[in-house]
Each structure stands twice: as C-alpha cells, then as structure tokens.
C-alpha cells in the first residue's frame, strides 16, 4: 500500500487497530501550517515503508472524540499502533525526518532497505531551506552557479509553521507564512536551484577545497557551503517536559492555541514571543498565566502594553516552573519563587514555553567556530572560520533574528559565495598561466 489512508473514527477500529501491519497514524487539523508541512513527509514515508507499515491520517476537526480518547491535543501528532495498542513514543509538533524515520525503522524491525546513494557535485551547497537558505539559493542560482539546497525536514523553516506574518515588507500587510516561503521556494526553483528536502544527514566534512555531505540517499560534494540551518525553540529541561510534549506542553501558540478553548494555560518566558503569544492565547483560553523568572519583561513596550491591559492575563514575576505533572495529559505545574525558594502547585490545562531559541549547529561542532550558546561566528561577509563556508540566518551569532534579517543574510552569503568561487577560479587560471 503506497498511500496514506484517510480514516475516520467509524473505521479506526477496522483499519488501524485490526491491521495486521503496525500503523503510523497522523492526527492533523485544517488550517494548521505544521500539518500542511508534515503531510508530505508522512506521504514520503508511506512510499518508503510500503507493505511494512500502514499509514493513516485522521482529521481531528471531524474526529474530536477519538482525538480526545487518545489524548491528542497538538497539531500535528503521530501515534503508532501495533496489535490494537498504542506503542512507541508518539511524535508531536515540529516533527523531524530523523526522529520519524528512526521510529519507523524500529517498527519495521530493521527490514527497511536503504536506497542506493546518488553522487551530486555542485558549486554551492546550502544547508537549510528557511528564508535564509532559499534567498541564498535565489542569488547563487541566478548567478548561474549550480546550487543544491538540502534540508532534513520540510521546505520553509520556522516560517512554514507561522500562521501570519505581518512585518515582512512588501506583502501588503499580512501574508501566510507558508505562502511567503512557498513564493521563495518557487523563485529559487525557477532560477534553477535543486531542492532536496526531507533528507537524513549522516555526516559533513567542511575541510579542504571540496566540502562533502552525506545523507542516507546521496553524497554531495561542493566547492562552497552556506549554512542556514536556523534555530529551534529552547527547552526548559525539567521533569515532565519531554513526557508531556504534545500532551499539554507546547512551543507554538499559533499552532495549538485553538485546542484550549475556555481553558487555563500557562506561558513561560519574558521576551517578545512569550508576551505576544500570551495575548494571542486569550482568543481561546479563559485565563493565561505568564510566568517569568525575572521581575520585568524583556519584551517591547508595545507588546507589554497589550499584555497588561488584557484582563484574562495574570503575570507571576520572579517565579520558575520546576516540574510539569499530569496523568495522560498535563494537569498542573510546580512553581518556585526564585527569591524565597518556596514552591506551590498550580493546576493548569496546558503550558506554552517561550524561553528563546537553540541554534541548529550541533552538526558543525568541532569544525566551525561557535559562540558559547552554539551560534556560528561569522564576519561581516558572513564567512565562518573555514574557507569557503558561510553562515546565514538564525543559526549565526547576531542581534536580531527575523525573516527580514534572514533574507538579508541569505543575499549576502549568496553573493559572497559567488565571489569566493570567482576568486578561486581566477587564482586557478593564473596558476595555470604560470606553468
């Protein structure tokens, strides 16, 4: 079977629970940008694991009771079933190819055959297809450089998970995140860039004139590399956070706020994202408690003004969440006063964590200079500590991380990679002339 079956609550028992094959079931909803991006990944996996795993999808909007029965509260969530029972760890929210692939490998009992690898040589290899990577691709492909963009997830980066973007110039006010990056992707493809998304990266070597990247399906060799791997929400790393991710712990209010109609939710953090998303959550939740470990917010004055005039929001300064509790779903947290160290339990229905971002730079540790927070260090030409390797967007050390600055970085990195390649070529020509 090569496709993802659309299943309803009425035929869930027959198709999923009674299936002779183990099953992966994607719970999605309409108007959910993450779901729109995860669906193609799920479909791709259905092809890879055809005959070994059954792939089904359930629209949560039309199957609320079933979603409730399995405590599915996040968009999107993948549950795994075998012999009528849920098994394996469910995946939720920002689902990445390697974690899905790993779970599926386990389910298929290691019988999956890896496809033969391709060999791809290019002028510019761009890692990451968010706004920085796609802009760099537009510049290098338009300069007639053979450009390949590799992403280990779906195209679009964080913007693809953003419902509305209101501050990107030239879009007449508001644009859907998925449309904005969709336009960038089309532009890059039209100029001739190749985009290989949903790849599993197994290694990267940035030393020497030819840099190489290997994935489970291909070997890439490039004369220059632009790293645009962005960032992901930082975790609190406290008891209960991992257990309840997708079961009441969230990192994206735009994606999951609608699940908390008339509920009491908590927001953790004190920056712009925390304050703005707390206000956004009051569209659904009847009460939002914002917990911040300092005695003032870092958010802009405008964002704070919106928050403080909102009667549905309660603010707890000098407090930290030190544990998240629940049964099948989050039902309370332990708070600690940072000054007195006194603790208290607070019942809540869900918690949204906004404590900053984590650069996606682990792959480059030991190969590139990183700052103490893991951001790639660049100069004003976006050169990294390795010749021929550039970094752009949220993954590099800088002050402002926005779509506009990612796009600006992409343009600079694209131009500089082109200039680097021209210089190499002219040096080689001169060298040849001398001989």
Positions annotated as catalytic residues are 252, 255-256
The residues facing 114 across adjacent strands are none
Residue pair 122/222 in contact by the 8 Å Cβ criterion: yes
Quick one: 63 or 162, whose CB is closer to ligand FAD? Answer: 162
394 near ligand FAD, judged by CB under 6 A: yes
Smallest distance from the beta carbon of 162 to ligand FAD, in angstroms?
A: 4
Peptide bond connecting 297 to the previous residue in cis, omega within 30 degrees of 0: no
Q: Of 189, 41, 217, 204, which Cα lies nearest the Cα of 125? A: 204
Looking only at residues 16 through 45 of this chain, which bind ligand FAD when binding is defined by CB under 6 A? none
Residues 6+ positions from 288 with CB-CB distance below 8 Å: 264, 265, 266, 267, 278, 281, 282, 312, 313, 314
Cβ at position 200, least distance to ligand FAD in Å: 9
Counting contacts by CB under 6 A, is residue 269 touching ligand FAD?
no
Q: Residue 67 or 158: which CB sits closer to ligand FAD?
A: 158
Query: If binding is defined by CB under 6 A, does position 376 make contact with ligand FAD?
Result: no
Task: Return the residues of window 312-371 that contact ligand FAD according to CB under 6 A.
Answer: 360, 363
Length of the chain (residues): 435
Q: How many C-beta atoms lie closer than 10 Å to residue 196's C-beta?
A: 19
Residue placing its CB nearer to ligand FAD in the complex, 167 or 300: 167
Distances (CA, A) of 377 to 30, 100, 418: 40, 31, 20
* Residue (157 or 414) nearer to ligand FAD, CB: 157
Closer residue to ligand FAD, CB minimum distance, 93 or 130: 130
User: What phi and psi, each to the nearest 5 degrees, are found at residue 185?
Assistant: -60, -45
**Nearest distance from residue 305's CB to ligand FAD, in Å?**
19
The rounded distance, in Å, linking the Cα atoms of 323 and 334 is: 5
Nearest approach in angstroms of CB 282 to ligand FAD is: 17
Binder among 151, 256, 306, 349 for ligand FAD (CB under 6 A): 151
* Number of residues near ligand FAD (by CB under 6 A): 34
For the chain, state the CA radius of gyration.
23
SS3 156: coil
Q: Which is nearer to ligand FAD, 165 or 321 (CB)?
A: 165
Minimum separation from the CB atom of position 28 to ligand FAD (A): 18
Cβ closest to ligand FAD, residue 38 vs residue 104: 38
All residues at 6 or more sequence positions from 98 whose CB lies less than 8 Å from its CB, including other chains: 152, 200
Please report whether residue 406 would count as binding ligand FAD according to CB under 6 A. yes
193-232 positions binding ligand FAD, by CB under 6 A? 201, 228-231
Residue 403 binds ligand FAD, judged by CB under 6 A: yes
Least Å distance, CB 314 to ligand FAD, is 23
Alpha-carbon distance of 105 to 48, in angstroms, equals 11
Return the closest-CA partner of residue 182 out of 209, 205, 204, 162. Answer: 162
The H or E element that residue 80 is part of is strand 77-82
The interface region with ligand FAD, picked from 126-134, 238-246, 258-266, 329-337 by CB under 6 A, is: 126-134
Residues within the interface to ligand FAD (CB under 6 A): 127-133, 150-153, 157-159, 161-162, 165, 167, 201, 228-231, 252, 254, 360, 363, 393-394, 401-404, 406
């Amino acid at each position: 079977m090569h496709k993802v079956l659309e299943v309803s609550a009425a035929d869930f028992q027959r198709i999923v629970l009674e299936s002779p094959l183990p099953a992966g079931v994607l719970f999605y909803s309409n108007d959910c940008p993450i779901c729109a991006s995860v669906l193609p990944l799920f479909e791709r996996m259905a092809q890879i694991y055809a005959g070994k795993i059954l792939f089904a999808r359930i629209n949560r909007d039309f199957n609320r009771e079933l979603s409730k029965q399995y405590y599915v509260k996040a968009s999107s969530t993948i549950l795994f079933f075998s012999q009528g029972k849920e098994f394996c760890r469910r995946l939720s929210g920002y689902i990445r190819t390697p974690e899905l692939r790993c779970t599926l490998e386990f389910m298929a009992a290691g019988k999956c055959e890896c496809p033969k690898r391709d060999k791809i040589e290019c002028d510019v290899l761009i890692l990451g297809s968010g706004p920085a990577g796609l802009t760099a691709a537009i510049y290098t492909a338009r300069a007639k450089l053979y450009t390949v963009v590799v992403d280990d997830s779906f195209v679009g980066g964080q913007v693809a998970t953003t419902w509305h973007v209101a501050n990107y110039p030239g879009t007449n006010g508001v644009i859907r995140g998925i449309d904005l990056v969709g336009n960038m992707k089309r532009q890059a493809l039209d100029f001739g860039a190749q985009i290989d998304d949903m790849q599993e990266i197994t290694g990267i070597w940035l030393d020497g004139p030819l840099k190489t990247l290997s994935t489970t399906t291909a070997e890439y060799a490039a004369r220059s590399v632009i790293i645009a791997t962005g960032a992901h929400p930082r975790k609190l790393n406290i008891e209960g956070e991992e257990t309840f991710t997708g079961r009441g712990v969230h990192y994206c209010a735009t994606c999951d706020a609608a699940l908390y109609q008339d509920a009491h939710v908590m927001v953790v953090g004190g920056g712009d994202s925390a304050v703005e998303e707390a206000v956004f959550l009051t569209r659904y939740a009847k009460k939002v408690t914002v917990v911040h470990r300092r005695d003032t917010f870092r958010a802009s004055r405008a964002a704070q003004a919106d928050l403080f005039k909102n009667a549905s929001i309660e603010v707890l300064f000098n407090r930290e969440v030190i544990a998240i509790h629940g049964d099948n779903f989050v039902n309370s947290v332990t708070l600690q006063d940072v000054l007195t160290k006194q603790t208290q339990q607070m019942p809540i229905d869900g918690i949204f964590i906004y404590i900053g971002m984590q650069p996606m730079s682990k792959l480059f540790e030991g190969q590139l200079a990183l700052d103490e927070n893991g951001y790639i260090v660049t100069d004003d030409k976006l050169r990294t500590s390795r010749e021929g390797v550039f970094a752009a967007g949220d993954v590099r050390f800088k002050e402002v991380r926005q779509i506009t600055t990612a796009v600006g970085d992409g343009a600079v990195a694209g131009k500089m990679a082109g200039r680097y390649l021209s210089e190499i070529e002219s040096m080689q020509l001169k060298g040849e002339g001398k001989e």
